Amino acid sequence: MSPNVLDALLAYLHFSALFLLVACLGAQLFLLRAQPGANVIPSLSRSDIGLLIAAVLVLATGLARVFYGIKGAGFYAGNPLLYVKLVLFLAIGLISIKPTLRYIRWRKSLAADAAFTPPAAEVASARRMVMLELHLLALIPLAAVFMARGLGL
């Protein structure tokens, strides 16, 4: 396989994983729009598992681009925008912990009581955190566009 084809495929896989991550966060935001009940809490848990899978795929394909892509690790290692992207990605991951723990607790509460609904304040807080994750995520492609054009070197 030619280096250009490999680079294009790695970029495609990386972007696809990023789109999956956005879709999972968007699904959570949509599901948190009202008071989640028995029909929504399992979907929140599934979208959260999808988010974890998507995050792992984004990281794996990003690393593949660094080490096997056409620009090479030297291009990326010397660019501070790569570290901006990584810090944003890490921040999103850290922010996602609290909603994940809530979804787990809600699922357990629902299993114990079929009429369980989470407190409105917790739902609103989870929605704010997911919205913050989406806003931070929107900055990563911006940094990527600048980095791809050699800015930050």
Residue 140 resides in a domain = yes
Tokens of 92: 């999103």
pLDDT in tens, 2-41: 889 999 999 999 999 999 999 999 999 999 998 898 999 9
pLDDT in tens, 119-134: 999 999 999 999 999 9
- Domain hosting residue 21, numbered range: 3-148
Residue 107 resides in a domain = yes
Q: How far separated are the first and last CA of the chain, in Å rounded?
A: 30
Residue 153 resides in a domain = no
Taking a C-beta distance cutoff of 8 angstroms, is the pair 99, 93 a contact? no
Residue 77 resides in a domain = yes
Find the helix or strand (DSSP H, E) in which 79 lies.
none
Distance CA 111, CA 25 (A): 24
Count of the separate structural domains present in the chain: 1
Q: pTM of the prediction? A: 0.91
